[in-house]
Amino acid sequence: MTLEAILASIHLLAILTAVVFVTSETAICRSEWMNAKVVQRLVTVDTIYLIGLAAVLLSGLARIWWGMKGDAWYWANWLVHLKFTLFIVVALLAIKPARMYRAWARELAASGALPGEAQVRSARRQVMLAAHLIALVPIAGAFLARGFGAPG
């Protein structure tokens, strides 16, 4: 019982970390606010977001493997597959902005140039989509925790 509570707490903390930092990215990734400090801040915030996503994945898998319900119960539930699919989509959406932020930082260091408005809009669009989709994952989790989607 204690292990289940610890795993659930770690998973919740990881989810909150990812949500807070993807929200921070959406707030500061704006062309009208772009300056050298914002570029560096985006790299930092994005790094924490990516760490949060990794922690969500690892803690979620830990709950499946070592949690009270066991992996057979989870993998037989279609809601787990929905959550995992949504998570993978969110994680894939994180790749392009992460690469863009780091490229902006390299370009800034090399020439002092800031990203163009179209680049910033493109990154923001990806991050906004991820931020909206990530909100669906815990909804599926709430139903999963209450036994919905279980076979039988």
Does residue 85 carry a pLDDT above 90? Answer: yes
Q: Decide if 60 is inside a domain.
A: yes
Q: Decide if 150 is inside a domain.
A: no
Q: First vs last Cα of the chain: how many Å apart?
A: 25
User: Does the model's pTM come out above 0.85?
Assistant: yes
d(C-alpha 47, C-alpha 53), whole Å: 10
More confident residue, 145 or 38: 38
Q: Decide if 151 is inside a domain.
A: no
Confidence of residue 1 (pLDDT cuts 50, 70, 90): confident
> SS3 for 16-40, per residue?
HHHHHHHHHHHHHCCHHHCCHHHHH
Q: How many distinct structural domains can be found in the chain?
A: 1
Q: Decide if 6 is inside a domain.
A: yes
Q: Decide if 27 is inside a domain.
A: yes
Does residue 66 carry a pLDDT above 70? Answer: yes
More confident residue, 38 or 146: 38
Q: Which residue range is the domain that position 138 belongs to?
A: 2-145
Does residue 144 carry a pLDDT above 90? Answer: no
Q: Directed axis angle between helix 136-145 and helix 117-134, to 10°?
A: 10
Single out the residue of 42, 44, 45 nearest to residue 18, CA to CA: 45
